[in-house]
Amino acid sequence: MPDEETRETKDEGLQTAKVVSRREFLKYAGIAGAAVAVSGGLGGVLAACGDDEPTTTTAGPDVTEGPTTTAGTGPTDAPTTTVQAGPEPPAQDTIRIGAARPISGANAIFEEAHFGPAYKLWVEDVNAAGGVDVAGKKMPVEMIVYDDQSDMDQSMRLITKLIEEDKVDFLFSPCSTAFQFAAAGVANAHNFLLLSSEGGATTLENEMKKGSLPLYFQLLNYSNHVQMPVFAELCAELGVKTVSICYIDDLHGIEYQAQAQIELAGRDIEVLSNVPVPPGIKDVTTIVKQWQSEAADMICSFQYPPENILTISTLMQLNYNPKGILVGPGGPTQAVYDIWQGAADQYFFEGAWTYEQSPEVKAYYEKLAAFVGGPANVDFWGSLIYKAQMELFQQAIERAASLDHQKIAEVLRTEHFKTLMSDDTFFTNQLLDASSYSGQIGQWQNGVPHVVDPGPKRTAEPIYPKIPWGSFTVS
């Protein structure tokens, strides 16, 4: 656990030096001495008994912490007995977690309906169960949450304050890709673990390959990880020959259109047009008319919720019915789907999970929907990933039996976990492995979100061509 003696040092890996105080040294030395005495005594007794016992190890978790002493070795054939002391529980009684979250400002919806509900529900649940089990000690969670006002400067300053002044034990990530990337640097500079699932981009992979962010773990799927490869595979399966694209002119849109072009070209699918759209655009009539003239099989709208809503509405107004349309952020949200009361049924979306994938997932969906004020605020892209993030976080602490960030990170890097999203959830190169997701591409079918990825994760057959606008309405 970072303490007041943790200092920031500059190097390529943003590593942190840690100094052990005299008091800590004496404490560890005392524990080590006691363990040596106990294990030495036990070893002596066992060796004296001379039984052909196999090597025995006391104490629970696989992760070793604390002194380990091997006794009974020597020139004789006496059995080797290893007595390993259990991990020492932390001296503190609670785990303090800090977060700079967008309680106000442009990103406030994420705190209200995305990662916000996930961590709040987790805190409720974990405290109701007595807390996180750290080396046999139940430690309730305390949250310190500041409003970063959706402002980068505020966010970075507050994260620094949480670490250096409030001395929290862990951080939860801020919201959006750019904030996450920036927070990853601050967190790593302080030797703090950071799991993030409210953004993600290809550019981060290069930084992780360099090893400059060793304590950062990325959970949300994104363009080349592996939504666009799956989408291209789906298009090939459906017989799509041509695609028209519009994309928001920022990191999200630029990366998605680039990856889509690469993946579609690899499947011999032609991209007829690829139009950038400025954030906050108020009229996409020209773009839709261009699409009408192109008559592509599939439309890709790599935009944000307001622009995606505008695009679908304009498609309806101009009565242009493409055979299929893929909708980016906002598309997986029930609230956006409900705007047209089902009239836009059967659009594809980036995601994806469904409450129909298992009874446990359905139970969580209902709980989440109740927590966020109704099903309209549930997101069928990230909500299950946020839940998995909390499960991974707790399980990693419990397996590490420690609040030490390096040890927890090592568990996350090397072990596999069971989460609500997948029975085998794990990281590969600090990215959540592609196999761990419930799905990549979804489709609304009669008001129900479904995973339509090619392969075993599919929960319903994709419908293509889609029905004309307004053919289905929710009563």
Partner 1 sequence: MLVIFVLLAILPTVNHGYTVTLFADILRYATLTVAWVIFSGPTGYMSLATSAFYGLGFYIAAVANGPLPFAAAIIISGIAGFAIAVFVGALTLRLRGVYFCIFTFALTLLVQNVVMEIERLVTQTRGRFVVNETAEAAYYAMFVVFLFTMVMAIMIRRSRYGLALQSIGEHEEAAAHSGINVVRSKVLVFGASAVPMAMAGAIIATRRTYIDPGIAFNLNTTFLPVLMALFGGMGNLVGPVIGAAVFTYIGEILLTRFPDLYMLIFGAVLILAIVFMPNGIVGLAQMAWNKMRGGRRAPA
Tell me, what DSSP letter sits at residue 315? H
Number of H helices, E strands in the chain: 14, 20
Chain residues in the site for partner 1 (CB under 8 A): 4, 7-10, 14, 103-104, 146-147, 149, 151-154, 156-158, 160-161, 163-165, 178, 181-186, 189, 203, 207, 249-251, 254-255, 258, 276
Greatest alpha-carbon pair distance for the chain in Å reads 91
Strand order across the 242-248 sheet: 270-277, 242-248, 298-302, 324-327, 348-350, 441-445, 448-451
In the structure encoding, which two tokens stand for residue 163, read together? Answer: 């670490």
What are phi and psi for residue 206, nearest 5 degrees?
-65, -40
* Amino acid (one-letter) located at 298: M
Would you tell me how many other CB atoms lie within 10 Å of the CB of residue 102? 27
Cα separation, 240 vs 449, in Å, equals 22
- Contact residues for 271 (Cβ-Cβ < 8 A; gap 6+): 242, 243, 244, 245, 260, 261, 264, 265
Find out whether 67 and 132 touch, Cβ atoms under 8 Å. no
In the β-sheet with 216-218, what is the strand arrangement from edge to edge? 194-196, 216-218, 431-432, 427-428
Of 134 and 246, the one with the shorter C-beta distance to partner 1 is 246
Cβ-based nearer residue to partner 1, 14 or 298: 14
Strands 324-327 and 170-172: unpaired
Category of 136 on φ-ψ map: left (φ > 0), alpha (ψ -120 to 50) or beta: left
